[in-house]
Structure 1
Amino acid sequence: MLDEDPGPVVQRLILGERLRALREASGVGLDDANAALGWYRGKLSKVETGTLGASEKELTTLLSRYGVTGPDAEQVRQLGREARRRAAPERVSDWAKQYIPLERASSEIRMVYGEVPGLLQTKDYARAQLSRSPVVTAADLDSMAAAREERGNRLYRDGAPHVWAVLGEEALRRRVGTHDQMGTQLRRLREIADLPSVTLKVVPLEHGPHAGLSCPFTLLWIEQARATIAYVETLTGADYVKSTEAYTLAFDQAEGDALSEDDTRALIDRCIQGVTHD
């Protein structure tokens, strides 16, 4: 997985982490560094968290202020060039374009969802779900649905990330598409649950409300950038949150109330039988 080109989004995160480490090692404060560039207060923080990029000239100014020269300086400039590249187009909603390269570069993925998340969907299930969206056009349905299944196919390959998925039982019960399509989706989940890199658990309906199920999210650990990012998608947009403590607590709470992996597999088997016999 790490042999793949991480793409400019991830390179921007790596660059930000490197700049933060260099600034702290030099003893330069955020305000002093912002002043050296004539930036507004807070802009460098956005660069260091990977939210914003920096031009070659701006990087040269920062490196000079931090006293960084030689190979170390050239490494940072190269990261800057990589971070400024144009990203390849993704077959997803506009607001999720940043998410796909982050997911691709992650070595660990934790998620809590009240429905089957895109990473675990079959093409037909994804198409049926996306067809109900008021913001997805008919022309994009097939390509976006196929892209979701292909993302999940990576879990079957060498170098797959470790995935911890906690789903609400309603994800298994709510029919999306035809009975056959729902059955195929449940069998896909059952296969994925057996993969060595996947831990799949279900929170039973009887356990009541959970913060993560009412506000689904994904936690991405990107080793190259030494960063954990929470991805929270809404109907028309998405948030990328680096202060992830609340999301980590919500994940731990949901996982603690979930069935064991064996009991989860047994529940999925019963749901498959129920769909087959309908």
Structure 2
Amino acid sequence: MPGPKDLDPSTSPRALLGAELRHARENAGLSRRELGEPLFVSASFIGQLESGTRRMQPDVARRIDEILGTNGFFERNCIAANKSKHPEHFAEAAEAEAVATTIREYAPVLIPGLLQTEAYARAVFRAYRPTATEAVIDELVEARLERARLLDDPATPMVWTVLDEAVLRRRVGNAAVMAEALGHIRALARRNRVLVQVMPFSAGAHASLNGALRLMSFVDAPPLAYLEVMSMGHLEDDPPTVARYTLAYDLVVAGALSPGDSLSLVESVAEEYTHEDQQP
């Protein structure tokens, strides 16, 4: 009996690979838990592979081929499925973000990528890569703007962001860049596309002082938490750990300004930058 054909990289290879995994697993009469056990991964992780929210790494793909008898199909095709325009440490999170139904995030330092303007993103990448060519910076900016097109859909994903006040006050680029960036957030909030709150300096210590936190939920896969530090990122799917991060986010929300007061603060700081830019 012929095996599955290799996947076409131009047709959502991650989703196709996940669909093939589910088909092969069911044909073998295995549950997600039964497939996960010899791989030393959870049933929820197998579910995330099948839904396309997690990457299939070559070593995992090789073992899946051995267990399911798929003649190297998954090992061959996971390479094409893992191609990404994003930095390696963030690629898996960006791909999960693209199929999420809700994205909740606490941002302690920078405006989150989905909410960035082109000028703001360019200033961020130039700070990260001071010696990079303009062509490299252009590619990074384009990938970030492509991510932001998720917000072209009027309702999905639901995006709820808590910005630390430091995000508003930290000058990225010049005053004009900051005025435009905060104006963009204001516009998204005004048309009810994103929910924005601000954690003011006056709130003092809070539950996510250790850093940025992103929570993503999906229609057909368990929720994920993503944590990122200096060119390193980690997706977490362990249910008790995700629940702990969810509580931390809920506590941050409880300590932040209301959406109305938050928007007023964003508008006020944006006006400060606008006036500064207009001064001779």
The answer to whether TM tops 0.5 is yes
Say which of 92, 108, 111 aligns to 2:105. 111
Task: Please give the per-residue CA displacement for 1:22-61, whole angstroms capped at 9, x wherever unaligned.
Answer: 7559x96976xx3xxxx6xx25769636465445744536
Q: Aligned-pair distance for 1:91?
A: 3.0
- Equivalent residue, structure 2, for 1:8: 14
- Farther off after superposition, 190-199 or 253-262: 190-199
- Equivalent residue, structure 1, for 2:219: 223
Task: Please give the per-residue CA displacement for 1:136-186, whole angstroms capped at 9, x wherever unaligned.
Answer: 834421221232233223313345310111111111111110111111101
Question: 2: CA distance between counterparts of 1:28 and 1:150?
Answer: 38
Say which of 246, 257, 260 aligns to 1:259. 257
Classify 1:227/1:28 alpha carbon distance in 2 versus 1 (closer, same or farther; 3 Å). Answer: closer
Question: 2: CA distance between counterparts of 1:181 and 1:102?
Answer: 29
Aligned letter for 1:103?
Answer: E
Kept after mapping to 2: 8 A contact 1:107/1:222? yes
Q: Secondary structure at the match of 1:219?
A: strand
Task: Please give the per-residue CA displacement for 1:62-93, whole angstroms capped at 9, x wherever unaligned.
Answer: 9xxxxxxxxxxxxxx9x969973613743322
Q: Secondary structure at the match of 2:128?
A: coil
Question: 1: CA distance between counterparts of 2:19 and 2:44?
Answer: 10
Answering whether residue 235 of structure 2 is matched by residue 240 of structure 1, we say: yes
Kept after mapping to 1: 8 A contact 2:101/2:217? yes
Q: How many residues align?
A: 249
Unmatched 5+ stretches in structure 2 = 1-10, 50-55
Say which of 83, 87, 94 aligns to 1:100. 94
- Equivalent residue, structure 1, for 2:157: 161
Kept after mapping to 2: 8 A contact 1:210/1:254? yes
- Equivalent residue, structure 1, for 2:6: none
Q: Aligned-pair distance for 1:199?
A: 1.1
Kept after mapping to 2: 8 A contact 1:155/1:161? yes
- Equivalent residue, structure 2, for 1:203: 199
Classify 1:201/1:43 alpha carbon distance in 2 versus 1 (closer, same or farther; 3 Å). Answer: closer
Aligned letter for 1:132?
Answer: A
Question: 2: CA distance between counterparts of 1:29 and 1:148?
Answer: 35
Classify 1:151/1:29 alpha carbon distance in 2 versus 1 (closer, same or farther; 3 Å). Answer: closer
Q: Aligned-pair distance for 1:127?
A: 1.1
Say which of 269, 273, 276 aligns to 2:274. 276
Kept after mapping to 1: 8 A contact 2:123/2:172? yes
Q: Aligned-pair distance for 1:105?
A: 0.8
Answering whether residue 169 of structure 2 is matched by residue 173 of structure 1, we say: yes
Aligned letter for 1:170?
Answer: A
Q: Secondary structure at the match of 1:105?
A: coil
Kept after mapping to 2: 8 A contact 1:112/1:217? yes
Kept after mapping to 2: 8 A contact 1:10/1:101? no
Aligned letter for 2:68?
Answer: T
Q: Secondary structure at the match of 1:199?
A: strand
TM-score, structure 1 as length reference: 0.74
Classify 1:110/1:13 alpha carbon distance in 2 versus 1 (closer, same or farther; 3 Å). Answer: farther
- Equivalent residue, structure 1, for 2:7: none
TM-score, structure 2 as length reference: 0.74
- Farther off after superposition, 210-219 or 254-263: 210-219
- Equivalent residue, structure 1, for 2:78: 84
Answering whether residue 56 of structure 2 is matched by residue 60 of structure 1, we say: no
Q: Aligned-pair distance for 1:265?
A: 1.2
Q: Secondary structure at the match of 2:98?
A: helix
Question: 1: CA distance between counterparts of 2:76 and 2:192?
Answer: 33
Q: Secondary structure at the match of 2:223?
A: strand
Aligned letter for 1:212?
Answer: S
Q: Aligned-pair distance for 1:248?
A: 0.3
Question: 2: CA distance between counterparts of 1:267 and 1:24?
Answer: 51
Unmatched 5+ stretches in structure 1 = 63-76
Aligned letter for 2:256?
Answer: A
Kept after mapping to 2: 8 A contact 1:182/1:275? yes
Question: 2: CA distance between counterparts of 1:259 and 1:82?
Answer: 50
Q: Aligned-pair distance for 1:250?
A: 1.2
Classify 1:83/1:206 alpha carbon distance in 2 versus 1 (closer, same or farther; 3 Å). Answer: farther
Kept after mapping to 1: 8 A contact 2:206/2:255? no
Kept after mapping to 2: 8 A contact 1:12/1:80? no
Question: 1: CA distance between counterparts of 2:193 and 2:156?
Answer: 7
